[in-house]
A and B are shown apart, each in its own frame.
Chain A
Amino acid sequence: DTGVSQNPRHKITKRGQNVTFRCDPISEHNRLYWYRQTLGQGPEFLTYFQNEAQLEKSRLLSDRFSAERPKGSFSTLEIQRTEQGDSAMYLCASSLSENGYTFGSGTRLTVV
């Protein structure tokens, strides 16, 4: 068990392009979360999966954002038509229960 893995670690993209991030949770964890963090702020919740079902979505998750977790394993977060305001660290976390998450190291997105 190597923890929660996120790829890529860094992504630079031009405004208007689509990007996709991947998260591999801890294998026995059935719960998976996506958060976004900007400089000087705490993480903000985006969405939550229990197994393959997406059970919660934040108002922050505009229609340009979509997340999937096929077969309840890894998850992808796609941002379409990126905007400069999308520049942030995108964090994935997983858990087996309510008792705290394990976060990955994040994907830092820069939109130029």
Chain B
Amino acid sequence: EDQVTQSPEALRLQEGESSSLNCSYTVSGLRGLFWYRQDPGKGPEFLFTLYSAGEEKEKERLKATLTKKESFLHITAPKPEDSATYLCAVPPFRLDSGAGSYQLTFGKGTKLSVIP
């Protein structure tokens, strides 16, 4: 059974204090990975898709990286508006396999609080 573990569960940062969130997974074969951001009372918002080990994606202050066993979400000089829960998820098949529909397995998320 696929398992996704995110750490830490919660992280408090001062504004401008860079850090990283971790997502580790036990799946049979690297299939790619998604990162989402979720604000309280809202649905997850898509951030990144990573397909293969060594891949990196960036968006504003966020950079996501992927290895064969884990992914990191690096936050550079965060601002209070970056406060949210960050979720990662893995699919049941390789994202580029054309296998069709999939049910994502999500981690529990990391709740990030950025203090002014």
Give me the interface of A with B, judged by CB distance under 8 Å. 4, 31, 33, 40-45, 48, 50, 55-56, 58, 91, 93, 98-106, 108
Contact = CB atoms under 8 A, between A and B. Distances in A.
Contact of B101 (A44, A55, A103, A105): A55
B101 A42 contact: no
Contacts of A91: 43-44
Contacts of B66: none
Contacts of B44: 43, 91, 103
B75 interface: no
Contacts of A41: 108
Taking residues whose C-beta sits less than 8 angstroms from the other chain, chain B's interface range is: 20 to 34
Contact of B49 (A43, A55, A100, A104): A100
B106 interface: yes
Interface in B59-116: 87, 89, 91, 95, 98-109
Interface in B5-63: 34, 36, 41-46, 49
A43 B34 CA distance: 13
A86 B4 CA distance: 24
8 contacts: A4-B43, A40-B108, A42-B106, A45-B104, A48-B101, A101-B46, A101-B104, A105-B42
Contacts of B98: 98
A56 B36 CA distance: 23
